[in-house]
Amino acid sequence: MNTSRPLLLPLAIALLAGCSDGTDVPPPPPSSLSIAPTAIPEGAPGEMNALRFRISMTEAQPAAVRVRYRTEGDSAQPDVDFLPAEGEVTLEPGALSAAITVDVFG
């Protein structure tokens, strides 16, 4: 008597159940983030202006995506040219973009 054949089907079902999240929903498409360059005209000395950076995703996601950010100096120096900023911005489900605001001097 060969018992391997009747045991094969339950084993295959158990493996499929172990590899599934229990839904027929495919995983979300992969997405990448980018930050668009931005600029504003230089203001008067002592004046503070808001510079908005747009964060974009290539593919909408079914769940919220949180992005952490932090400013760093290069040609613009923290506390001289801009106020240092860090935080988190959330792209809501289905959204493709969000904005980060950095305060700049002058």
SS3 of 22-69: the string is CCCCCCCCCCCEEECCCCCCCCCCCCEEEEEEEEEECCCCCCCEEEEE
Predicted model pTM: 0.68
Q: How confident is the model at residue 5 (pLDDT cuts 50, 70, 90)?
A: very low
Q: pLDDT tens for residues 52-89?
A: 999 999 999 999 999 999 999 888 899 999 999 999 99
pLDDT at position 104 over 70:
yes
| Arithmetic mean of pLDDT over the chain | 81
Q: Answer yes or no: are the C-beta atoms of 93 and 45 closer than 8 Å.
A: no
- Least Cα distance to 67 among 82, 77, 53 occurs for 53
Q: pLDDT tens for residues 13-61?
A: 444 444 445 566 777 788 899 999 988 888 888 899 999 999 999 999 9
C-alpha distances (whole Å) from 2 to each of 6, 7, 8, 13, 19 are 9, 10, 12, 20, 28
* 76: its two tokens: 């613009």
Domains contained in the chain, CATH given = 26-105 (2.60.40.2030)
